[in-house]
Structure 1
Amino acid sequence: MTRVYTTIEEAGAELERSVVTIGNFDGMHRGHQAIFAQVKEQAAQLGATPVAMTFDPHPVAFFRPEAAPAKLSVAPQKYALMGSYGVEAVVALRFDKALASMSPQAFIEEVLVEGLGAVEVVVGEDFRFGHQREGTTELLREQGERFGLKVVVPKLVEVEGEVVSSTRVRALVASGELEAVRRLLGRPHRLAGEVVHGEARGRALGFPTANLEVAEGMALPPDGVYATRLAVGGAGGGWQAITNIGTRPTFGGGARTVETFVLEEGVEEELDLYGEEVMLSLYRHVRPEMKFESPAALVAQIQDDVAQVRAYFEEGGDA
């Protein structure tokens, strides 16, 4: 199981020799996965621990809260994925004034070398660090030589001719292009949250739903109906499902909700999910949310939506 440390002191007490990668790693896309693979390989060759250092909150959220990017993953989900890609230890530092004001030189010496025992650092070519982002990969190389610290900058990963980035993934989620998102992530975009009590309208219509209170700040696609899977806990996979994201305009609108109807039969006893932490995997946009002239018209449309989603899964669309 991946170890998670929240301070340099805590990590340094157990890590003697490490290969470290540093970043926010939101979304854990194919570019991040390539870096983790290299960290794992180099650590094995050097007899070191593969380590990922990340930050909470996102530095942009610290300096400009109003401009904080939507989250593609929550912390526990991120750490679990890191472990699945070969990272043995995560150093999740709180991004605060003290860390933001640390000089690049101090960061290299006190955090990487003395704190984590780093012998190699693997970072993206656009990596910046230290006070006012003064640190660059070139500076990291220059200063690292003093301590025998090797710096590796892998090539950027491209999918369909474009560089993979968290910014690009967020844009695709925001436009509902979930199949393109899957190609960049290597898996579906997932929403983490807790199942809460709703207004029971779905049950009254014959489609009882699990109402998901999504973790704050998560990236959501446009309002509409989606082919999804619902799983208890942080794992992927789960039950085939259909999900509506929106304000329920047929019933006068209101707060934005995420409501999921499980398609598989014979799991009723397992669906008492109130208070459970669940993971919702988003596979395909079915249609936008619409206002219907009556509940009966809505039910007819839901029946058609369910048939579409069943066909999608039967044809292996989620493979």
Structure 2
Amino acid sequence: MTTINRDFDHLGDYSFDVLPCNILNEDVKGVGPQEGFGGVALGFFDGVHIGHKELLRTLVYMCTLRGYEPAVFTMDRYPKFLRGENSESLFDGLIQDTRWKLEVLFELGIERTYIQQFDDAFSQVTPEDFLNKILYDKLKARLVVVGHDFRFGHKAAGDVALLEKWGKERGVEVIVIDPLFSNGELVSSTIIRKALKEGDLQKVTRLLGTEYSISGPVVPGNAQGRTVGMPTANVRIPANLLVPPYGVYVTRTRIGGKTYNSVTNIGTRPTVNQDESDVLMETVIFDYDCNLYGIDINVSFLHFLRPERSFNSFLTLTNQMSKDMQTARTWLDSYEQLWKIADQEGITTWVLPSDRFHSNVINVCLSSPADPCNSAAHAFLGRILSSCTREYPTKTALTKRLDELFGAELDVSNRREGDWQTIIFRASTVNRGMDDSKPFHSLVDLVAQMLLDPPLEEDGFLVEEIVERERLNFLSDWNTYISDYKNYVSLRTRDLLCGDQLHGTCMIGSIDCIASLSSTELTRIWRNWLKTAQIRVFVAGRMDTDLKNKVSNMWQEVSYNGGRIRRLAGREPSPFLPGQPIKVIEKAPLEMSRIGLMYSGLPPYTSYRVGEIDVLSNMLAAAAHSLLNDIVRLHPEAVHNISCRTFPFLSCLYIDAIVTPGKEDEVLRAVDRQLKKIVTGSYREGLFTSSLEIIKNQLISISDEMENMLSFRRNQITSGRNIDIDGALALIRQITPEQIHELASRLKRQVTYVLVPEKEADTLYKGQIINSAPNKKAKL
């Protein structure tokens, strides 16, 4: 057994072993996890499309929950060849080569990949021997994840039913992933191959969940392009790789940790090499001119421009290439898709180009694991850093500068993402002024100054006066927030759900820490935060080369010590496992009772089935005549308001209600009845359809606002799904009532929290009396 060397430096330091082996050879050593047990996904995974990703992210999520090592067991060739279901002469080729597949598996969190030599000997292995001798004994699999149509063993005699039966007998957890449909079609590698062969790149992108791409080392060409200022990076296409129709495409090219716009011709180059028979990929990379010979590049195909054809002369060809490049630039300016332009030292930069809006927006997101003290410090630092810079050391000076930048907006927010916390610095203004100035470019500089160059004392620590001012303002705002009983009940219900798990850490951490942190401690934490946090920069709006360079280089002065956190969806934030159901009744000086209910059972936050959650929520509380609103309509004397929302990173549904004192149990029974109606499908006709339409219209309307588009795509990146609006709509359209019924049947009430009135009671949160705290703010 040998290990394939890899060059995936830009992906971090996660363990990843590729083990090409004949696993039946008793001399093979080191197979399986070195310690403990493993989880294994089985399949060929050509293309690693969104159906595969659903399966693989489920594996990573469940392995994290169980403490297993996630691995993939696959073959070195397309298995159907040896089973007689197809022949190589009829097979068009693979969607991706092995190296690129392995890189995608790595990015999804697979720590080990076994590539089995699929030869005559292995094809004779019985289903029982495969399960017992290979999966159980050698790979130490105690969790197996497969697709609904998975088959294995000699003559494909093994199926999912046999696998599940074996799992029960051997104590192996078996998860079978349901088929995923998009716009009425089963998501499959076969469908993607057909679309790719037909040149339907939009469909290919939707089903892959990313653009189709080809990777390989740059090889020398005849250098004719360089003589006319259009050097090309040439990559030879492997013989077994399926490619789109020959022609010229708008593309993007990744070189190391940076990605550039480009134009690519794929074909046999009939103008310059009439005798050429090998397929070659020639790429002209915009705004880039370096020798790439021997360097691996990855080219993503976005849009077909024209077929490949032979020109009368090289001059005619170069004139057409110039036109192709200009057409590509124009097309790219209006291509509203988020793409990663830089991934360097754990800091990623994403841009979403759009020429429909006159404003630009930037989000700088700093994410780190949540714990009470660090979360408090980071939330506090967000307030301090956004209040001033060294050049604009007061709020008044900063506000004046924002006004000068055509009324620029700047704010900071705090997001809880399971057991992680993200601080988002957001700023926006017009791209260009009437005087042809570039206010957004200046605003990006201001955001960089705000984060990297705050006012410091002579001793190098944050200014004490600013720290104390923002401390007072922060605690005052927090008291106002928590004094609203709607917020209080939500936080208290979450506390009861999470117990001691870090998922329950308050969004601003420990109040005691905020109250006690010194400027010296905050300065140390600030500097460490910049070096270790996962940093993602998102920019939307009109783009030019200067702006892309500015946002991708804004962190150059932050030193890197190799310790930057890199989140991997399904593992970070970590899966949440609720404890035993709990019911708590507390008292507070309020007039009406408040109820908070938390239900577990929703799909993981990484799942492409989150649309089902949205439909369920709408059926409960958002659609006309929704089931929970029916309680208010039918029992106005008992319940005055009821709503629901989800906690995606907890996989939980939350319901809260304002209730007449003494009617709490009646309302709880009513909620149970309404949920049961969804389980049994006994709700009024049209409720499912209207809820589905609401969700579809909400998705469509996202593109009306640039900030909504950026927020949607940023959340997709965080969850690991990374699909665009069209892709989300294609999945939503396939949701059936039966899927919603099944989802509702999995809901389990974990927390019943009831807050009842008592005039003399004190309301406590984390030991602090909140209803009698002072509400003062510092002067600016």
TM-score (norm 1): 0.90
Q: Determine if contact 1:104/1:135 at 8 Å carries over to the other structure.
A: yes
Q: Determine if contact 1:29/1:186 at 8 Å carries over to the other structure.
A: yes
- What is the CA-CA distance between 1:206 and the residue it aligns to? 4.1
Partner residue of 1:238? 259
> Cα gap change, 1:4/1:250 in structure 2, threshold over 3 Å: closer, same or farther?
closer
- What is the CA-CA distance between 1:39 and the residue it aligns to? 1.0
- Larger CA deviation: 182-191 vs 39-48: 39-48
Distance in 2, Cα, partners of 1:247 & 1:315: 30
- Structure 1 counterpart SS, 2:292: coil
1:220 matches 2:238 = no
- Structure 1 counterpart SS, 2:31: helix
Partner residue of 1:74? 97
Distance in 1, Cα, partners of 2:215 & 2:333: 25
1:272 matches 2:291 = yes
Q: What amino acid sits opposite 1:314 in the alignment?
A: D
From 122, 147, 150, give the equivalent of 1:99: 122
Matches within 5 A, 1:45-60: 45-60=65-80
The one-character-per-residue Cα deviations of 1:136-188 (angstroms, maximum 9, x if unpaired) are 11111222322112322111112222111111111111111112211111111
From 299, 316, 319, give the equivalent of 2:335: 316
Q: Determine if contact 2:164/2:174 at 8 Å carries over to the other structure.
A: yes
From 316, 320, 324, give the equivalent of 1:305: 324
Matches within 5 A, 1:85-234: 85-232=108-255
Kindly indicate whether structure 1 or structure 2 has the higher relative contact order, using CA contacts under 8 Å at least 6 residues apart: 1
> Cα gap change, 1:232/1:214 in structure 2, threshold over 3 Å: closer, same or farther?
farther
1:261 matches 2:281 = no
Q: Determine if contact 1:15/1:116 at 8 Å carries over to the other structure.
A: no
Distance in 1, Cα, partners of 2:273 & 2:261: 29
From 303, 307, 329, give the equivalent of 1:288: 307
> Cα gap change, 1:136/1:15 in structure 2, threshold over 3 Å: closer, same or farther?
farther
Distance in 1, Cα, partners of 2:323 & 2:192: 30
Q: How many residues align?
A: 313
- Larger CA deviation: 155-164 vs 11-20: 11-20
Q: Determine if contact 1:30/1:185 at 8 Å carries over to the other structure.
A: yes
Q: Determine if contact 1:61/1:67 at 8 Å carries over to the other structure.
A: no
Partner residue of 2:58? 38
1:5 matches 2:19 = yes
- Structure 2 counterpart SS, 1:54: strand
The one-character-per-residue Cα deviations of 1:178-202 (angstroms, maximum 9, x if unpaired) are 1221111111111122211222332
- Structure 2 counterpart SS, 1:230: strand
- What is the CA-CA distance between 1:109 and the residue it aligns to? 0.3
- What is the CA-CA distance between 1:80 and the residue it aligns to? 2.1
> Cα gap change, 1:143/1:171 in structure 2, threshold over 3 Å: closer, same or farther?
same
- Structure 2 counterpart SS, 1:250: coil
Partner residue of 2:775? none
- Structure 1 counterpart SS, 2:248: strand
- Structure 1 stretches lacking a partner, 5+ long: none
The one-character-per-residue Cα deviations of 1:46-68 (angstroms, maximum 9, x if unpaired) are 22222211110222355644344
Q: Share of identical aligned residues, percent?
A: 32
Distance in 1, Cα, partners of 2:71 & 2:228: 50
> Cα gap change, 1:148/1:272 in structure 2, threshold over 3 Å: closer, same or farther?
same
- Structure 2 stretches lacking a partner, 5+ long: 1-13, 24-28, 339-780
TM-score (norm 2): 0.38
Distance in 2, Cα, partners of 1:182 & 1:32: 14
Distance in 2, Cα, partners of 1:293 & 1:69: 32
Distance in 1, Cα, partners of 2:281 & 2:328: 17
- What is the CA-CA distance between 1:88 and the residue it aligns to? 2.2
- Larger CA deviation: 58-67 vs 276-285: 58-67
The one-character-per-residue Cα deviations of 1:85-114 (angstroms, maximum 9, x if unpaired) are 232222222212222110000000011111
Q: Determine if contact 2:271/2:312 at 8 Å carries over to the other structure.
A: yes
1:22 matches 2:42 = yes
Q: Determine if contact 1:36/1:85 at 8 Å carries over to the other structure.
A: yes
Structure number with larger C-alpha Rg: 2
Distance in 2, Cα, partners of 1:243 & 1:14: 45
RMSD of Structure 2 on Structure 1 (CA)? 2.1
Q: What amino acid sits opposite 1:243 in the alignment?
A: T
Distance in 1, Cα, partners of 2:71 & 2:226: 47
Q: What amino acid sits opposite 1:165 in the alignment?
A: S
- Structure 2 counterpart SS, 1:51: strand
- Structure 2 counterpart SS, 1:220: coil
